[in-house]
Every structure is written in structure tokens, then in C-alpha cells.
A = this chain, B = another copy of it.
Amino acid sequence: MNVLVINGTPRKHGRTRILASHLADTYNTKYIDLSSFALPLYNGEKDQQDIKEVKQLKEMALEADGFILCTPEYHSGMSGILKNMLDFLGSDHFKNKPVALIAVAGGGKGGINALNNMRTVVRGLYGNAIPRQLVLDPVHFNTDQRMLTSDGEDLVENVVEEFKFYLETAKRLSFK
């Protein structure tokens, strides 16, 4: 898939990173891992456009047919590091492209607010956040082996299936 997967956890050992690398490996996508990709804090100044990582982010986002955004839930929202990355981008990168949203949470009702936050922000970027979304809880990870459980993989697969449908649709019905 000509898709850009974003790992939105800054933590090297975060579960969100397990999810994002699973997606990138299994579905052979482009991948930006915010736990290592050295973006600065967005400051609105033009000279930031010359920074290597900012250029690379914009090029990768422009070329992608769609996005899968993966975030931990921090204080009932997406991570600050993910929102900071999105602040560098705009509708040029997202307009009418399908975007799949997955949050990684600690259980209970966690994750939903992060999804709602991402959905609203993706709309602000003029992306098409697809209806199916997902929260993965600790039970969906085998943390020792740094992998998803079989159930977790199935849930992710369901999201990707719908995402692929929207990717195909967007290709056939191109309205920029």
C-alpha cells in the first residue's frame, strides 16, 4: 500500500510502537516513527521548512495515498508529539485522502477521546477519517515478545480492510 503509517508514541518501548511497526511490516507501508524521527517543535517560522526531517515528512505525506495514525492516549487526547507533527502539514497533504485512526490505551474507556481528537483534527486537515476505528488495550499485546496477540492482529486487519476499500474508492473517484 502507498500509505504512510505514523507511530505517535515518543516512547521507544511504547505499545503504540509495536502496533505501528506491525502495520508497516505486515502491510508494507511507508513509516515514520516519532520515537526516533527528529522533528523540532513547530514554530511557524519559514526557516523550519529547510530542516531535513520537515522536508522528508512533507514529501512522504504528499506522496502517500492515505495515512494510518497510531497514538497513545495522553490526558484524553492524542500525544503532543503527534499533534506537533500534524502542525507541520496541511490540506495539501491530506485533502480527501483516507485516514485510519487507531489508539492504544490502558483499558476501561481509554482511547476514545484520543480517537475523537484525531478525527476532528483530520477533518481540520481535510482528510477523510474512515468510519471504522480501533482502541487496542493491554490485552491485545504480548508485550514481552513485542508483538500483538492474534486477536489484536485480527482487529487491526478489520480496520485495514475497510481502509483499503476507501483507498480504492479514492483512486477511482478523484475529486481534489
Contacts and interface: CB of A to CB of B under 8 A. Distances in A.
A139 to B, nearest CB: 22
Count this chain's copies in the assembly. Answer: 2
A87 B76 contact: no
A121 B75 contact: yes
B84 A41 contact: yes
A120 B77 contact: yes
Interface residues of A, number: 34
A78 B124 CA distance: 12
A85 interface: yes
A3 to B, nearest CB: 20
Nearest to A125: B75
A150 B41 CA distance: 33
A36 to B, nearest CB: 10
A75 B41 contact: no
A80 interface: yes
A44 B79 CA distance: 11
B81 A77 contact: no
Interface of A: 9-11, 14, 35, 39, 41-45, 74-87, 90, 113, 116-117, 120-121, 123-125
